[in-house]
Amino acid sequence: MGTPERIYELVKALPENQAAEILDFAEFLLHKAKLQAEQSTARVMEHQLLDFRQAAGLGQEVWQGVNVEQYIQQERAAWD
């Protein structure tokens, strides 16, 4: 019998108010785990966002077939 089944069997034997406390605690643990996962993901993403050295060549496919000098001249002409 696995842990979820053991917990279920134990909780079934408890009065309703005590079973509700266990449910509250399980929901707290789940919420805490989700927060920790989000914080961990945020730290990884922050590191990736700040490490601009790894961005070399990123998005280069957007500029394929574009004459950069001509593009710059068009943009500058639009400023007037």
Assess whether pLDDT exceeds 90 at residue 23. yes
Assess whether pLDDT exceeds 70 at residue 59. yes
Please report, for the chain, the start and end positions of each structural domain, with discontinuous segments joined by +: 3-57
Q: Which tokens belong to 48?
A: 């990736």
Assess whether pLDDT exceeds 70 at residue 27. yes
Cα angle value 71/73/76 (rounded, 5°): 110
pLDDT at 48: 64
pTM: 0.49
